[in-house]
């Protein structure tokens, strides 16, 4: 796993110090991992996953597949295209390109005479952005 961590830093042209800053851990933590003094903790792996959402964590943990999710999907797509008839591919593409509704209205089921202070506040735990190139990015409030 340590070699894969070095490979990630190299892929993004980051020094060990810059890699530590990007991930959000102290520089000695990464220095000790890269020098093979310590193994990365679960917390460090989770922070790497948040800092680089395009990384395939299965690759990072086990060395299986491709480093980047987009690379793995490209390989899967090329394999799938070789096996799927062209007509079916066109149908799948047309399904994926349907536009989302512009506006969604959410109506409250609370009685009109109920005060707003009685409605419990909801806290945002995670926001996930999905992009057209089949990648995503997670945002967790308060985790910098």
Q: Please tell me the distance from the alpha carbon of residue 108 to that of residue 35, in angstroms, as a whole number.
A: 56
Q: Tell me, what's the pLDDT at 95?
A: 47
**Structural domain includes residue 121:** no
Q: What is the CATH number of the domain that holds 12?
A: 1.10.260.40
**Position 54 in a domain:** yes
**Could you tell me if residue 118 is inside a domain?**
no
Measured CA to CA in angstroms, residue 87 lies from 62, 75, 94 at distances of 37, 20, 11
Residue 49 lies in a domain: yes
Residue 125 falls inside a structural domain = no
Q: Residue 81 is part of which domain span?
A: 1-106
Indicate the number of domains in the chain. Answer: 1
Q: Is residue 78 part of a domain?
A: yes
pLDDT tens for the chain, 144 residues: list them.
888 888 888 988 989 899 899 999 988 998 888 888 988 888 988 898 888 888 888 888 888 888 888 765 555 555 555 555 555 555 555 445 555 556 555 555 555 555 555 556 677 788 888 888 888 888 887 776
115 is a domain residue: no
- SS3 assignment for 49-79: HHHCCCECHHHHHHCCCCCEHHHHHHHHHHH
**Structure tokens of 127?**
């926001």
Residue 128 lies in a domain: no
Q: At 126, is the secondary structure helix, strand, or coil?
A: coil
């Amino acid at each position: 796993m340590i070699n894969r961590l070095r490979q990630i830093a190299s892929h993004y042209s980051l020094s060990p110090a810059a890699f530590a800053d990007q991930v959000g851990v102290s520089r000695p933590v990464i220095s000790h991992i890269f020098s093979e003094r310590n193994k990365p903790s679960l917390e460090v792996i989770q922070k790497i996953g948040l800092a680089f959402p395009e990384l395939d964590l299965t690759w990072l943990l086990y060395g299986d597949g491709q480093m980047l999710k987009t690379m793995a999907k490209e390989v899967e797509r090329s394999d799938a295209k070789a096996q799927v008839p062209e007509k079916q591919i066109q149908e799948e593409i047309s399904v994926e390109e349907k536009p989302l509704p512009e506006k969604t209205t959410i109506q409250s089921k609370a009685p009109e005479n109920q005060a707003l202070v009685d409605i419990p506040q909801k806290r945002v735990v995670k926001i996930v952005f999905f992009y057209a190139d089949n990648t995503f990015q997670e945002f967790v409030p308060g985790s910098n």
